[in-house]
Amino acid sequence: MQFAQVLVDVPTMQTDKPFTYQVPAQLAGDLKLGMRVIVPFGRGKRKIQGFIVGFSDHVDFKGPVKPISAIIDPNPVVNDEMLKLSAWLAQTTFSFRISCVLTMLPSVMRAKAKKVLQRTDGELPAALQALFGDHEQIEFDQAALSDEQTKLILKAVQAGQLSVDYVVKNHAKPKLITKVQAHLGQPQLQKILDQVAKNAVAQQKLLRWLIDHPKDAIAQPTLIKTLGINASTIKTAAQKGWVTQSTVEALRNPYQKPIQKNYPLQLNADQQNAVDHIADSIHNDNAKVYLLEGVTGSGKTEVYLQAMQKALAAGKTALMLVPEIALTPQMVNRVKGRFGNLVAMLHSGLSMGEKYDEWRRIDQGDAKVVVGARSAVFAPLQNIGIIIMDEEHDSSYKQEDTPRYSTREVAKWRGQYNHCPVVLGSATPSLESRARASKHVYELLMLPHRINNQALPAVHIVDMRNEMANNVTSDFSQSLVDAIKLRLARKEQTVLMLNRRGYSAFLLCRDCGFVLKCPNCDISLTVHLKGHQMQCHYCGYEQPIPNVCPNCQGHHLRTFGTGTEKVEQELNQILPDARVIRMDVDTTKRKGAHEKLLARFGSGQADILLGTQMIAKGLDFPNVTLVGVLNADTSLELPDFRANEKTFQLLTQVSGRAGRADKAGSVYIQTFNPDSQAIQLAKTQDYEQFYRSEMRLRHLANYPPYFFTIRVTASATYENQAAGTIYQIANFLNGALTNRNIILGPTPSAITRVNNKYYYQLIIKYKHEPNLQSALETVLNKYQSATRHGIYISIDPEPVSFM
């Protein structure tokens, strides 16, 4: 194997193929497939990161072949499965293979090459001399240097006084700790202890500990802390030969709190049936996809846990995916309580280092169960026995930037590769999945009953048009207020949902009709009382709330569209004694804030939990007997064909938060569209009927699941560039594709300008389109050079929204 095929870390169309490199003799024995290496690339001395994707004995490339410079990690970081998966992913998501490889790995492996300036010989100009000081080499960070300095440096390089070198920076460093262990036997230590000076207290403490723990290897910092001694005592002890110090890899474990063990629960007949079916596939290496449709509170989680247990019992591993927001401590404790140290967690709350450590635990085979959000679908588990995807309809499973993969599709691919079942679970499956179950592509498993046959909560629809007619300007109907008061009196808890954060959606001048907009985006600014700022939810722009109209200097500015901040204020007025916790992006930004707020609510330190849709999932608080939805219309009014589906799912999910233990629950849904299908059916929580009625609408309008969809977006600095490009693409596609598909648009995207870039899009609806893949690849190739002019094309297969 003289040559290696290397995927270079340069995400462009022209470099999206393996490059051939020589295997130098000194690396020949160590190089393995999937290893991360450093290679020279380009004319200069530029060095970059690459991944070995193949070996060969001959070269096809005509031209000089360079040798691989070095190996980055001692072991391969990408296995055979991941190499194949990355190729498939690159093709189906129209993205670069290297981008796919990098998304599968922890972010610390996104190495960046650093330029370093090295002194060679001769006197440097005074200005540069000052820059170097005593150092022989410094980092060449052009951004931190002035133009003058850069010029001087380039001159010095040409004159041979300096040289530019490249260092590929690797952040993926395992954390190392020093362990201490007794080196002598107990009798010898005892003898030393007897002879040691009476005032050498620290040494005595250490010796006593060593005598008590003859075998233990303890982390040095822990030993220092427990004994109250310092590092020099241990150093001296090592020099005297009492102890040995060794450096080992420390894996940061983010959940070190002791977790209460829990045991499998008794299953009801439906649950048992589901577990039996899944177990059957596990034992027969059958890559079947199951749709587990269970009403809220039907015990899906217990089915998951017991199915995973079956996989472990068969000597295999288990992967469980959950929406990011549902990774609550409750969920974590439940899984950890069942499988203990075998569990690795992957979620956004971990630091980069912690994620890397968890990844390594999985890679080394120390963790057999992985629980995590979207990106955990790439966890380097081997010999997977089951993949579970909870709340499979959740939109957070779709990655919204490149590679725009669907977690569900990746999970199914891995199911095929590992010959294991994939379980998609939901109370409100996506219509796509439910339709596939009807066509027997998936096997449908139903959990129609709640645990202990508990009744579903009673749902009341409150017609807000009547409330308005009664001249009520509050965001609360009288019936909802009465219901909350009743819970307060009974010392029960309430969950209130309003799907809009901030104080109010926009600020309007009643004199001239002016609405304050973001200077960078085509969107109105949201009023936030906290910090007294107007905020853009798209680009993060902020400015103080104006006192007078910026347009006419009038004083009649009014806020419209209630957000959670305002509701919190209203609650304090209507129910001054109620203790309210508000949970939205603004109150949960800090690390751990989410958990803290939920823990406070769970322990009864508040009466009302008010939040955006982040409170709709997975919460299980037995004392919650009332759920109020303040405005069910926000998601219904979206200009998206999935508006009904999203509304029904959200209402059903949030309703499921009420009455989960022995107390009956009730739900109040306030709406201006009480007759809408989505809201009427959420009342009875009848998913099957919703499915049937919504399928009819989708069929009539040629929408998914009857059609596949793909979105092509052109973005550019100038509006005419974006528009011009998308029209050219539309023309090309009309010629290149068969006439059996439908192209919607081109149109400006719902928010045409975001962060000073213009977005235009078109949507292709198709059933079977043989030319699609090649036509879209042609589009990408054609417009690849346009990136130089700030024009970008993006292709999104099965977008979650058409906006």
Partner DNA sequence: AGCACGCCGACT
Partner DNA sequence: GTCGGCGTGCTC
Interaction site with DNA (CB under 7 A): 10-12, 14-15, 19-22, 39-44, 46, 61, 63-66, 115, 151, 785, 787-788
Nearer to DNA, 136 or 147 (CB): 147
For the beta carbon of residue 791, count every other beta carbon within 10 angstroms: 18
CA–CA separation, 80 vs 84, rounded Å?
A: 6
- Shortest gap between Cβ of 716 and DNA (angstroms)? 15
- Shortest gap between Cβ of 125 and DNA (angstroms)? 15
- Shortest gap between Cβ of 578 and DNA (angstroms)? 53
Q: Which residues does 621 contact at the CB level (< 8 Å), separation at least 6?
A: 493, 601, 602, 657, 660
- Shortest gap between Cβ of 44 and DNA (angstroms)? 4
Secondary structure (DSSP) of 688-751: HHHHHHHHHHHHHHT-TTSSEEEEEEEEESSHHHHHHHHHHHHHHHHHHS-TTSEEEEEEEEEE
Q: Which residues pair with 562 in a beta bridge?
A: 504
Nearer to DNA, 10 or 217 (CB): 10
Nearer to DNA, 146 or 787 (CB): 787
Nearer to DNA, 689 or 787 (CB): 787
Nearer to DNA, 164 or 224 (CB): 164
CA–CA separation, 803 vs 800, rounded Å?
A: 9
Q: Which residues does 452 contact at the CB level (< 8 Å), separation at least 6?
A: none
Buried b or exposed e, range 401-419, using 16+ CB within 10 angstroms: ebbbbbbbbbbbbbbebbb
Q: Output phi, psi for 23, to 5 deg.
A: -95, 110
Q: Which residues does 666 contact at the CB level (< 8 Å), separation at least 6?
A: 457, 458, 459, 460, 483, 625, 626, 627, 658, 659
Determine the straight-line distance between the first and last CA of the chain, rounded to whole angstroms: 51
- Shortest gap between Cβ of 733 and DNA (angstroms)? 24
- Shortest gap between Cβ of 788 and DNA (angstroms)? 6
Nearer to DNA, 14 or 473 (CB): 14
- Shortest gap between Cβ of 418 and DNA (angstroms)? 33
- Shortest gap between Cβ of 170 and DNA (angstroms)? 16
Residue that has been written with the tokens 């109250």 in this structure:
228
Nearer to DNA, 558 or 789 (CB): 789
Nearer to DNA, 16 or 586 (CB): 16
Three-class SS string for 11-31?
CCCCCCCCEEEECCHHHCCCC
Edge-to-edge strand ranges of the sheet holding 162-169: 137-139, 112-119, 162-169
Q: What is the dihedral of CA 646, 424, 656, 478, to 10 degrees?
A: 0
Edge-to-edge strand ranges of the sheet holding 708-716: 742-754, 757-766, 708-716, 792-797
For the beta carbon of residue 553, count every other beta carbon within 10 angstroms: 12
Q: Output phi, psi for 185, to 5 deg.
A: -80, 165
Nearer to DNA, 55 or 541 (CB): 55
Locate 100 and state its tokens. Answer: 């796919």
Locate 528 and state its tokens. Answer: 């936030």
Annotation-wise, does 420 bind a ligand? no
Q: Output phi, psi for 166, to 5 deg.
A: -115, 135
Secondary structure (DSSP) of 528-547: ETTTTEEE-TTT--EEEPPS
Nearest to 684 by CA among 481, 391, 455, 404: 455
Nearer to DNA, 679 or 714 (CB): 714
Nearer to DNA, 125 or 748 (CB): 125
- Shortest gap between Cβ of 753 and DNA (angstroms)? 22
Secondary structure (DSSP) of 448-486: -S-GGGPPPPEEEEEEHHHHHHTT--SSS-HHHHHHHHH
- Shortest gap between Cβ of 141 and DNA (angstroms)? 12
Annotation-wise, does 100 bind a ligand? no
- Shortest gap between Cβ of 789 and DNA (angstroms)? 8
- Shortest gap between Cβ of 784 and DNA (angstroms)? 9
Edge-to-edge strand ranges of the sheet holding 19-22: 19-22, 3-8, 47-56, 36-40, 70-71
DSSP state of 396: G
3-state class of 434 per DSSP?
A: helix
- Shortest gap between Cβ of 399 and DNA (angstroms)? 19
3-state class of 8 per DSSP?
A: strand
Nearer to DNA, 151 or 555 (CB): 151
* Structural contact between residues 350 and 254, judged by C-beta atoms closer than 8 angstroms: yes
Edge-to-edge strand ranges of the sheet holding 526-528: 542-544, 533-535, 526-528, 504-509, 557-562
Locate 7 and state its tokens. Answer: 């995927």
Nearer to DNA, 341 or 402 (CB): 402
- Shortest gap between Cβ of 46 and DNA (angstroms)? 5
Nearer to DNA, 118 or 273 (CB): 118
Nearer to DNA, 435 or 795 (CB): 795
- Shortest gap between Cβ of 94 and DNA (angstroms)? 15
Three-class SS string for 114-128?
EEEEEECCCCCCHHH
Determine which helix (DSSP H) or strand (DSSP E) holds 56, and give its type and residue range.
Answer: strand 47-56
What single-letter amino acid sits at 344? Answer: A
| Helical ranges in 143-299 per DSSP H | 147-158, 186-195, 201-212, 220-227, 231-240, 269-283
| Residue 289, phi-psi category: left (phi > 0), alpha (psi -120 to 50), beta (remainder) | beta
Indicate the length of the chain as a whole number. 803
Binding residues for Zn(2+): 509, 512, 518, 521, 536, 539, 549, 552
Binding residues: 509, 512, 518, 521, 536, 539, 549, 552
